[in-house]
Structure 1
Amino acid sequence: MTTTAVELLEVVWGRASIAPTSASQLRVLYILEHHDGINLRTLAEFLASTPPATSRLCDRLVAAGLVERVVCEENRREVRLHLSGRGRAFLVDLRARRERELQTVLADMPAAKRVALLEGLEAFCAAAAAQTHDDEAGSDSRTA
């Protein structure tokens, strides 16, 4: 059932198109939205990728005007990554388009099923947040 739900969600969100970004590029935008100003090495760790591959990914996002590279004043060899204004606007627009597509689907559901879905999603989000928090706490203790 989860596989079917994920695949259907991908189809619904596909209607909202993520062009001009690939799924990998979109992931970078989401990471930068939550971790503004991280360096390339940290971004590569988040992506479980290599710095050269991550740098190429960022090159394309910079060329598209979605990401900015800023040289760190304290260490001129370090580059910080930031979403540009265009990158932030792109994410706002993408979320709005995806929400409209989801609302179309939800409107066709009976009210009681929408309530049940909401309750299930709230429980899912709470469990996922707790798991993410546990993962972050575990990585903090390993690096300390």
Structure 2
Amino acid sequence: MEKSFSSLAELQAEIDLLKVRNFQQEEALKESLSSPSAIFSSVKGFFMSGNSKKSLTSDLLNQDILTNVARFVIPLFMNGIVFKKSGFITKTLITFLSQKVAKQVNSNAVSGILDKVKGIFANRKSSGVSNFGVKTRRHVDYGIPPDSESY
């Protein structure tokens, strides 16, 4: 997306082009929200699936159950316990951000984290270190000694 400009005139032309695009997008947005029926069709289009865009309902149904649960549990936990006495704007921002985080949570991410934690404890157990950081003595069986009677 980065463009290199060799002169000031090219930069000014690009700025003017971006201003025109911005104005066109503002006009299109004003036109799409000019009447109640236009607003209703915009909201309806958000829930209905089109040819090229994903809708909210298909987005929710295509996620795994852990992601859908996290979309409700994380905001409730954050607003109910962590930010209990905060204001409306703070709670709204926390809800928005936690919804974005919940989209990143899926069963693969959670199982990966659990495998890492399990690996840490398995490495600690196999290295002979106790929970208090003290080396423990392990009994190592080398098999039947060569000088024994059964050899």
Query: One fold, TM greater than 0.5?
Result: no
Larger RCO: 1 or 2 (CA < 8 Å, sep 6+): 1
Whose radius of gyration is greater, 1 or 2?
A: 2
Whose helix proportion is higher, 1 or 2? 1
